[in-house]
Amino acid sequence: MNWILRMFSRRRAFDDLSEEIREHLEEKVEELVAGGMPRREAEASARREFGSVRLAEEDGREVWRWDLVESVLADVRFGARGLRKARGFAVVAVLTLGLGIGATTAIFSIIRAVLMNPLAMEEPRRVMVVRETWRETFASVSVGNFADVRRQSGSFANLCALNEASFNLATQDAPVRVSGELATADCFATFGVAPIAGRFFATTEDEPGRERVVLISERLWRTRLGGDLAIVGRALRINGVPHIVVGIMPKTFDPVLSGSELWIPQAFTSGQIADHDNHYLTVIARLKPSVSAEQAQSEMNLIAQRLQQAYPLDDRERGLNVRPLPELLLGDERLALRLMFAAVGFVLLIGCANIANLQLARSRTREKEMALRIALGASRQRLVRQLLLENVALGLTGGVIGVLLAYWGLSWIVAHGPAEMPRLDQAQIDPGALVFACVIALLCSLLFGLAPALRSASTSLVTRSRTSLLSPVEEVRSVGATPRMISWTISSVISCRDTGPPLVVMNE
């Protein structure tokens, strides 16, 4: 931290050094004058004895210099001046990069929200969906088949059933229609998500005739019920019937991505359990730690055969299928989003290729400038670094514009995108997306800038003959460099010139 502070306070240190040298010379002059020497001769004698003031200042300033940092900052300033001179090229390059980076960042944010973020549950890869199959199609599970599978299976630590429904909820303002689910008591243990307040359903609360209870979502609790924790234990009128609130589930809990806002125990009667014909349940199971999905599928095949034999009228052609819940919920979106990401990535590559072509064409007009810099002592490595920093400035500026476009585009996609895409509303430009945009901007800078930089730094040079009667500036002027170009370039080279013999440009 100290060296950073020292770096930004160097100007004051340089002024103090110059003032100290001036005071030292003044003291010497006064000493000589006091000895009888005229002031003009005393000043000349003091300067001769002290030596070059400029050299002393330069030697003293070496204490506060960081050559690499200063040379990089000099390259950045020089590159900024060069881009200001080529405004048309800079605007085209920045806009092209901004569009490409913006589209790529927006699609990345969607992919991250839909596919990359894990489902909000414990070990989602071990959570399975059990479905019925009929003539190569998948179907929901009947209550009777669910009861038989839960009784006969040994592969699952928990097995629960859900049934989507909608409810009329009485609030202080007016009744509202909310979506929810009827769930068996072991549903929440299956997903392994704890409530933020209260408790789950008790094991006996999904039996017919028990007290009516309800679990509510955090979203419903905050938006419709005032966000008061005292709601736990109170009664809500749902479909005109009082239900006791026993717990509040976190806002991230949406296991089947249905947007449910409350859960009521599913109480199956004996008549429903005997029904193997009505298929409407979503059955979720959690594998035991020692059981794989393949082993669970083998067991389901055996249970399906038993059901076919026991209930030939209802289950004659029906089987049972086990599939991981994340794969079932997100599998249909993976290919579409990946193809979309590849498409915008390809567009970004095309944009980089076009900018690289513009850079190559621009490098033809900068040959005299590069020749002058090399003749004044700049190495090829230094030129490549300076040109790459110029491209990085373009890339980062395009990245900033791209993030702004991505923010606008993502808001539009979330508002008008397909409703069936899960978790689309969770897509946002967060720090992860900003890091992605920054990395893409830097990669694009190298992608479109490396080849033009190497070409610009490949000007043909030979060592200047020691017997040459021309100065370096005269030699450069002989190949067509204008006085304005010479003056402009010397200022950027002189502070960080490389050692070595002077060089001269050869006409090609």
Domain ranges of the chain: 2-64, 73-116+332-505, 136-316
SS3 30: helix
Tens of pLDDT, residue by residue over 406-453, are 999 999 988 888 777 778 888 889 999 999 999 999 998 888 888 777
Phi, psi angle pair for 317, to nearest 5°: -110, 20
**Would you place residue 487 in the very low, low, confident or very high pLDDT band (cuts 50, 70, 90)?**
low
Sign of the Cα pseudo-torsion (464, 469, 471, 473, in order): negative
Tell me the average pLDDT across 317-331: 88
Higher pLDDT, 449 or 298: 298
| Angle value at C-alpha 269, between 263 and 274, nearest 5 degrees | 120
Residue 236's pLDDT is 92
User: With contact defined as beta carbons under 8 Å apart, do 310 and 276 qualify?
Assistant: no
Percent of the chain having pLDDT more than 90? 34
* Range with the poorest average pLDDT among 80-94, 218-232, 454-468: 454-468
Residue among 34, 213, 221, 191 nearest 119 (CA): 191
Rounded Cα–Cα distance for residues 352 and 373 (Å): 27
Rounded Cα–Cα distance for residues 370 and 84 (Å): 18
Rounded Cα–Cα distance for residues 110 and 103 (Å): 11
Strand-pairing partners, residue 463, are 503
User: With contact defined as beta carbons under 8 Å apart, do 393 and 76 qualify?
Assistant: yes
Q: Does the pLDDT value for residue 1 go beyond 90? A: no
Residues 6 or more apart whose CB falls under 8 angstroms from that of 81 comprise 488
Tell me the average pLDDT across 189-194: 89
User: With contact defined as beta carbons under 8 Å apart, do 207 and 175 qualify?
Assistant: no
Strands 235-238 and 461-463: unpaired
Residue 372's pLDDT is 77
Tens of pLDDT, residue by residue over 95-154, are 999 999 999 999 999 988 888 877 888 888 899 999 999 888 899 999 999 999 999 999
> Hey, which of 42-51, 79-88, 499-508 has the most confident mean pLDDT?
42-51
Neighbours of 23 (CB within 10 A): 10
User: With contact defined as beta carbons under 8 Å apart, do 49 and 28 qualify?
Assistant: yes
Q: pTM for this structure?
A: 0.64
Residue 415's pLDDT is 86
Residue 62's pLDDT is 57
Q: How many helices (H) and strands (E) does the chain have?
A: 18, 14
Rounded Cα–Cα distance for residues 129 and 396 (Å): 46
